[in-house]
Amino acid sequence: MAAISAQLASFKSFSSLLNDKKCSRFRSQIKSFENQHSNWSVEFLSGKESVHLIRNSSPSISMAASVAGSAVKPAKKVCLFYCSETEVLAKRIAAESDAIELRSINWRTFEDGFPNLFIHNAHGIRGQNVAFLASFSSPAVIFEQLSVIYALPKLFVSSFTLVLPFFPTGTSERMEDEGDVATAFTLARILSHIPTSRGGPTSLVTFDIHALQERFYFGDTILPCFESGIPLLKNRLQKLPDSDKISIAFPDDGAWKRFHKQLQHFPTIVCNKVRIGDQRIVRIKEGDATGRHVVIVDDLVQSGGTLIECQKVLAANGATKISAYVTHGIFPKSSWQRFEHDNGGQPEKGLTYFWITDSCPHTVKEVKCKRPFEILSLSGSIAAALQV
């Protein structure tokens, strides 16, 4: 603006010419603008008309700006509901994006213990993109959440997304003996019958499902979106001071099949279990742990027995540090207490880090601020998935 004022000041000597009744014009190109691709003209008109600044932009620049502007996709507004267990994670997700708005539900019960539920401002979500953040931590809470999950798409919403970070029946996905019940298939069928919204089938977002073939358990009325927590681990490993000495260990062939493609730029170690009499012993199948900070990677942990056996064999084979990562830290009966901190580089005694995500809220509460545990939040990944 200072440049414009300076240019206009130079024309004050012509004011006497503009006071007569005749129309006078003076045109001057201003070259002091930062954008040298635009021509500006100053036009003086007689009478009571004001001074006009006219910008003659380059057509190619204007077109490029228009194309660039049209390429920016506006954020999709999402109304996010949640259960009591996932409240903390829901708030983290909402903090990731202004496009995500938290909505509440009254989780009450009748005297007989059955759910008495109420969705606040049900009329206000008509025509909106709606999501529900679930946690099926126990059979006791599944029914009340399913009641809400089945109700939300029928409130004339534009689309509905179910975020279930941990698919809890994933380890029971096949029959080995006649009479076995594959409860993963049962839960998949239940979720496949969620009513369609105005926008079509429900989208299901889940992380590191135990067996990839479980995607075929879902029907055509639901769209499963399988995400992974491994990118969070990779980002964390890059920040370690010894990031150039990291090797990845898989406790069995199943973990290698699930994750090796995402971690292929790290040296890898594959372990397996061998049976000797009545004992199962973990051994290194391939790879070298000598002088390395070895990170054991798997999708979930329950009692933790296999991880502890892996730790022992890796320490015995020369690992200088041992850490672990699992997406889902289940730890029934507080089995997380079995894992000790290494107290500064004693891999035979414990772990340097044990990374888990916040897919299992109960575990997060128990291990918070307890070494060697460190929580990697799925909030950013979920916020991004809600924009798909």
Q: Which range has the worst mean pLDDT, 147-156, 270-279, 298-307?
A: 270-279
Of 37-46, 97-106, 138-147, 224-233, which range is least confident?
Answer: 37-46
Number of other CB atoms surrounding residue 220 within 10 Å: 7
On whether the CB atoms of residues 204 and 162 are closer than 8 A, the answer is: yes
Kindly state the tokens that stand for 49. 């008309």
Alpha helix positions (H), 219-354:
230-238, 253-259, 305-316
Asked if 78-227 and 230-357 have one fold, the answer is yes
pLDDT tens for each residue of 148-177: 999 999 999 999 999 999 999 867 666 677
Mean pLDDT in residue range 241-268: 95
Please say if the pLDDT value at position 40 is more than 50.
no
Mind listing the pLDDT tens digit for each residue in 174-187? Answer: 667 788 888 888 99
**239-to-48, 276, 327, 341 alpha-carbon distances in Å:** 67, 41, 19, 20
Q: Give which of 121, 128, 84 is closest to 103, Cα–Cα.
A: 121
**In the numeric block, which tokens belong to residue 202?**
């429900």
Tens-digit pLDDT profile for residues 189-201:
999 999 999 999 9
pLDDT at 71: 62
Residue 353 is predicted with a pLDDT of 97
Are 61 and 80 within 8 A, CB to CB? no
Q: Report pLDDT for 224.
A: 94
Of residues 374 and 48, more confidently modeled? 374
- Span of 126-130, 175-179, 306-310 with lowest mean pLDDT: 175-179
The reported pLDDT for the residue numbered 275 is 73
Query: Is the confidence at residue 37, as pLDDT, over 50?
Result: no
CA distance 194 to 133: 15
Provide the strand spans (E) within the chain: 39-43, 52-56, 78-82, 100-102, 105-109, 115-119, 129-133, 159-163, 202-207, 222-227, 246-250, 268-276, 279-286, 293-301, 321-329, 354-357, 373-376
CATH architecture for residues 230-357 = 3-Layer(aba) Sandwich (3.40)
11-25, 267-281, 322-336: range with lowest mean pLDDT? 11-25
Q: Mention every residue, 6+ apart, whose C-beta is less than 8 A from residue 297.
A: 230, 233, 248, 249, 250, 255, 259, 263, 324, 325, 326
pLDDT at 378 over 60: yes
According to CATH, what is the number of the domain 78-227? 3.40.50.2020
Q: Name the 3-class secondary structure at 167.
A: coil
Comparing CA positions, the residue from 358, 361, 357, 387 lying closest to residue 98 is 387
pLDDT of residue 142: 96
Nearest Cα neighbor of 306 from 262, 271, 266, 263 is 271
Measured CA to CA, the distance from residue 388 to residue 384 in angstroms comes to 7
Quote the percentage of the chain above a pLDDT of 90: 68
Over residues 319-327, the mean pLDDT reads 97
pLDDT range class, residue 49, cuts 50, 70, 90: very low
Find how far residue 375's CA is from the centre of its chain: 14
The confidence score (pLDDT) of residue 174 equals 67
Q: How many CB atoms lie within 10 A of CB 101?
A: 13
Q: Report the chain's C-alpha Rg in angstroms.
A: 31
Quick one: what percent of the chain has pLDDT higher than 70? 80
Both structure tokens of 312: 């022992």
Q: 195 preceded by cis ω (within 30°)?
A: no
Which range (50-54, 334-338, 369-373) has the least confidence? 50-54
* Residue 10 pLDDT greater than 90, yes or no: no
Q: Which two tokens stand for residue 24?
A: 């006078």
| pLDDT reported for residue 173 | 63
Q: Higher-confidence residue: 176 or 28?
A: 176
Q: What is the pLDDT of residue 281?
A: 84
pLDDT at 289 exceeding the cut of 50: yes
User: Residue 68: phi, psi to the nearest 5?
Assistant: -65, -40
Buried b (16+ CB within 10 A) or exposed e, 229-265: bbebbeebbeebeeeeebbbbbbbeebbebbbeebee
Q: Let me know the angle formed at the C-alpha of 213 by 376 and 186, rounded to the nearest 5 degrees.
A: 90
Domain regions of the chain by residue span:
78-227, 230-357
What integer pLDDT is reported at residue 72 of this predicted model?
A: 67
Residue 332 is predicted with a pLDDT of 93
Q: From residue 3, how far is each of 6, 25, 32, 51 by CA, in Å?
A: 5, 21, 6, 16
Mean pLDDT computed over every residue of the chain: 85
Give the up-direction half-sphere exposure of residue 376: CA atoms within 13 A in the CB hemisphere: 22
Inform me whether the pLDDT recorded for 73 exceeds 90: no
Q: Please report the pLDDT score of residue 48 as a whole number.
A: 45
Whole-angstrom distance, CA of residue 322 vs CA of residue 42: 72
Q: What pLDDT is attached to residue 382?
A: 98
Higher pLDDT, 125 or 7: 125
Q: What confidence score (pLDDT) does residue 263 get?
A: 97
